[in-house]
Amino acid sequence: MLDLQLLRQDLDAVVRGLGNRGLSFDRDTFERLEQSRKRVIQEAETLKAERNKVSEEVGRLKREKQDAEHLILQQREVGEKLKALEHAEKEAETAFRDFLALVPNLPHESVPVGKDEHANTEIKRWGTLPTLDKPLDHTELGTRLGILDFDRAAKLSGARFSVLKGLGAKLERSLATFMLDRQIAAGYTEVIPPYLVNAESLYGTGQLPKFEQDLFKMPHGESSLYLIPTAEVPVTNLYRDEVLSADQLPLRHCALTPCFRSEAGSYGKDTKGLVRQHQFHKVELVSFCAPEEAEAELERLTGHAEAILEALELPYRKVLLCTGDMGFSSQKTYDLEVWLPSQNTYREISSCSWFGDFQARRANLKYKPADPKAKAAFLHTLNGSGLAVGRTWLAVLENYQQPDGSVRIPAALQPYMGCAEIR
C-alpha cells in the first residue's frame, strides 16, 4: 500500500513512478473515490456528533426525572438516516481501499527505468564458466543417474512435478541444510512456519488480491487457505499487527519451506526439467529493519545469498532489475542468476528485494524508534532467496558434470553428502 499522504501531496510523483513501471495510474478514478469517501465520512460524522449530543441530553433529562419523549422520537429518524449513511460510508471506504490494494509500489530512485528484462543492469559476474564439450542438461544427467524421475511424478500429480531418488534426494536435503546452516551462522534465526496461510497474510505481502491465479487455494470450512508460494508470506506476517521495539531491529529470519505456485500463464515456458515446478524448496531470508538502515540491509542480504553461490563455486551474475521487471511490492530488486551450461545462459536463482514500507502498511508492521518521544512508525521489510534449492540442485548437476556423465559434489557440500561424486 502506498502512503496516502504521498498520493495527496504529490500525485505527480506517484504517476511518474508508476509510469516508469509501464503503468498508467487512473488519476480520475482515484480523485473521484477519494472525494466521495471524504464527503460521505464528513456527512456521517456530522450526524453522529449531533446524535451523541442529543443522546447525552436524553440521559440528563432522564436522570432529572424529566420528560424526554420528544427528543427520543426525533432521534429515531436520525438513527434511520445514520444507518443508511454508515452503509454508504463503508462502501466508499471499501471501494477506495480496493482501488489502492491493486496499485504496486513505487520504484526507488536508484532503479534503472526500463520496460522489461533487457533494461536490467548487470552489476557483477563471479566465477569461471566450466569448459564442457557437449554439456548435457540436468534432466538427462539426472535421469541417466537414476536420481530424477519426471515420468512417475507425472503419474502421481501431473506436469511440473518431480521425484528425487537416492543421492538426488540426498543432494536436495544436503543443499537445504547447508544453506540453512550458513544463513544461521550469518545471523538469521530459523523459523518453520505454516505452509498453509489465510488470505490476510497474502494480502500483507502483496500476493492478494491481484495474483490469486498464481496460488493453490484449498477449501477449508467456510473459507479457504492457500499453499504458500514462498516463505516470505508466513515469515513477513509473523509480526503483523505488532509494534516491535527499535532494539529488536534489524530482525532477521531464515526459513526452509516448500513453495507452491500454480504457474498459471506460464504455459510453454520451461516445460522441461526442474526450472519451473509447481512445488520446490527454498531457503528464504527475511529482514525487518528501521527505514534508515534498509538500503544497506538490501546489500547485506543480497551478499548472504551470493555467499551460498560462492561457497558452492557456482558461476553467477548479479543483476539490478529495471522498473518494468520488478515485482508488485518491491521498490528495488537484485536478481542472482546462476550459469546453466545446457542453456548457455544465466538463470534466476535468487531474488532479493527491498519493499520500503509498502508491505509494512499492508500488514500493519510497526516499530517504536529509539527516541522515546517518537511515535510508532512503519518499518521496512526485505527478503531474498538464499537460495532456491531446486534450481541450485540442477545448477550443481550441470556445472559439475563430468564427460562420463557422473557429477562431482562441490567441496563445501561433501560433508553433507558424505561422498564426492554421484555416478
> Between residue 248 and residue 277, which ones bind RNA under the rule CB under 7 A?
none
Cα–Cα distance for residue pair 360/355, rounded to 1 Å: 8
Closer by beta carbon to RNA, 369 or else 390: 369
Among the listed residues 19, 59, 209, 418, the single contact to RNA using CB under 7 A: 59
DSSP state at residue 231? T
Active site residue 348: yes
DSSP state at residue 189? E
Using the rule CB under 7 A, is 238 a contact of RNA?
no
Using the rule CB under 7 A, is 79 a contact of RNA?
yes
Active site residue 317: no
Closer by beta carbon to RNA, 200 or else 299: 200
Closer by beta carbon to RNA, 159 or else 376: 376
Using the rule CB under 7 A, is 52 a contact of RNA?
yes
Q: Smallest distance, Å, CB 233 to RNA? A: 18
According to DSSP, the residues that pair with 243 across neighbouring strands are 366
Using the rule CB under 7 A, is 246 a contact of RNA?
no
Buried residues in 233-261 as b, exposed as e (16+ CB within 10 A): bbbbbbbbeeebeeeebbbbbbbbbebbb
Q: Smallest distance, Å, CB 227 to RNA? A: 18
Q: Which of 349, 330, 216 is nearest to 281 (CA)?
A: 349
Using the rule CB under 7 A, is 32 a contact of RNA?
no
Query: Strand 163-164 and strand 148-149: pairing?
Result: antiparallel
Take residue 254 and report the three cell numbers written for it: 531464515
Closer by beta carbon to RNA, 221 or else 268: 221
Cα–Cα distance for residue pair 326/308, rounded to 1 Å: 23
Ramachandran category for residue 166: left, alpha or beta (phi over 0 → left; psi -120 to 50 → alpha): left
> Between residue 99 and residue 128, which ones bind RNA under the rule CB under 7 A?
none
Which of 276, 317, 347, 408 does the annotation list as catalytic?
276
Among the listed residues 12, 24, 28, 49, the single contact to RNA using CB under 7 A: 49
Active site residue 223: no
Using the rule CB under 7 A, is 375 a contact of RNA?
yes
Among the listed residues 62, 125, 155, 272, the single contact to RNA using CB under 7 A: 62
According to DSSP, the residues that pair with 352 across neighbouring strands are 334, 384
Using the rule CB under 7 A, is 307 a contact of RNA?
no
Q: Which stretch binds RNA (CB under 7 A): 44-52, 150-158, 180-188, 321-329?
A: 44-52
Using the rule CB under 7 A, is 373 a contact of RNA?
yes
Among the listed residues 11, 23, 54, 196, the single contact to RNA using CB under 7 A: 54
List, as one string, the DSSP characters of 373-397: TSPPEE-EEEEEEEEEHHHHHHHHH
Using the rule CB under 7 A, is 45 a contact of RNA?
yes
Cβ count within 10 A of residue 415:
10
Using the rule CB under 7 A, is 41 a contact of RNA?
yes
Active site residue 8: no
Residues 402, 145: contact at Cβ < 8 Å? Answer: no
Which of 162, 174, 287, 351 does the annotation list as catalytic?
351
Active site residue 423: no
- Expressed in angstroms, the distance from the first to the final Cα of the chain is 51
Buried residues in 376-394 as b, exposed as e (16+ CB within 10 A): eebbbbbbbbbbbbbbbbb
Cα–Cα distance for residue pair 351/118, rounded to 1 Å: 17
Using the rule CB under 7 A, is 6 a contact of RNA?
no
Which amino acids are annotated catalytic? 261, 276, 348, 351, 391
Q: Which residues bind RNA (CB under 7 A)?
A: 4, 38, 41-42, 44-46, 48-49, 51-56, 58-59, 62-63, 72, 75-76, 78-79, 90, 221-222, 243, 372-373, 375-376
